[in-house]
């Protein structure tokens, strides 16, 4: 299992939200590039960069900052948040070979675009299955996509995508523990699938529980920033 450090961005700051709500925002750093370098130096296997301004339609974006972070580190990066055009996808994918792009709203509003992608490009796409009671939510978690969790995974695995970012919205930013039952259920139904788990991690015990589900990777967010776990501790048990 891989450890991926989250860097959520609003107005060029590193923040964490609770259940995606702007009113529940905590600012952790005014220097996202240094934060990225810090997680790289501590041994993270990758970074998860989220442009929350773009995702939540605040009227701003952090694209230039994300491009600077890409140049500043040498570990794999997955980019998420408000990526809603094929031009944006291509702009990120052409930067470096170790960049992957996370698609949520675009994937569920314009699935035909995904279906037309080349096999080479599909390997670098991660579908965000952000769910609330198994309803896939899009547009900054404000809108029901019309699809259920397992239906969505089946659809995109048939298209040729095997990487899925699973976020239980009820767990996000809560430190209440990961959604173990859903991961186990997904792995029992779908084969050759990579589940990246996000949301609810509170301590090293949660990491061990996730490892035992054959989860592909874990996103480290609030627990990492609140110093409830360290990347070194995580690396020792995964």
Q: φ, ψ for residue 55 (rounded to 5)?
A: -65, -40
**Catalytic member of 51, 53, 130, 179:** 130
Clarify whether 8 is annotated catalytic.
yes
How far apart are alpha carbons 197 and 2 in whole angstroms?
Answer: 10
Q: Among the residues of the chain, which ranges form H helices?
A: 32-41, 52-55, 63-72, 86-93, 105-109, 111-115, 119-122, 149-159, 180-189, 204-211, 222-225, 231-237
Annotation marks residue 31 as catalytic? no
Distances from the Cα of 199 to the Cα of 93, 166, 186, 222, angstroms: 26, 8, 16, 9
Instruction: Give the three-class secondary structure for 92.
Output: helix
User: Which two tokens mark 104?
Assistant: 């949520």
DSSP character at residue 229: S
3-state secondary structure of 129: strand
Residues belonging to the active site: 8, 130
């Amino acid at each position: 299992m891989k450890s991926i450090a989250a860097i959520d961005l609003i107005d060029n700051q590193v923040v964490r939200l609770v259940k995606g709500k702007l009113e529940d925002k905590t600012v952790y750093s005014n220097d996202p590039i240094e934060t990225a370098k810090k997680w790289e130096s501590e041994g993270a296997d990758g970074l998860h960069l989220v442009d929350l301004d773009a995702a939540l339609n605040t009227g701003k974006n952090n694209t230039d900052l994300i491009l600077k972070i890409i140049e500043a580190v040498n570990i794999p990066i997955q980019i998420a948040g408000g990526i809603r055009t094929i031009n944006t996808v291509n702009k990120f994918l052409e930067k470096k070979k170790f960049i992957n792009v996370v698609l949520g709203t675009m994937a569920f509003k314009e699935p035909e675009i995904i279906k037309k992608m080349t096999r080479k490009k599909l390997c670098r796409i991660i579908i965000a299955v952000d769910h609330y009671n198994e309803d896939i939510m899009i547009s900054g978690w404000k809108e029901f996509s019309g699809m259920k969790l397992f239906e969505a995974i089946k659809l995109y695995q048939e298209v040729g995508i095997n990487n899925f970012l699973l976020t239980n919205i009820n767990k996000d930013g809560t430190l209440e523990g990961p959604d173990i039952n859903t991961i186990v259920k997904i792995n029992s139904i779908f084969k050759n699938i990579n589940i990246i788990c996000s949301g609810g991690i509170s301590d090293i015990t949660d990491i061990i529980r996730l490892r035992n589900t054959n989860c592909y990777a874990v996103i480290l967010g609030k627990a990492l920033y609140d110093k409830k776990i360290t990347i070194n501790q995580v690396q020792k048990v995964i």
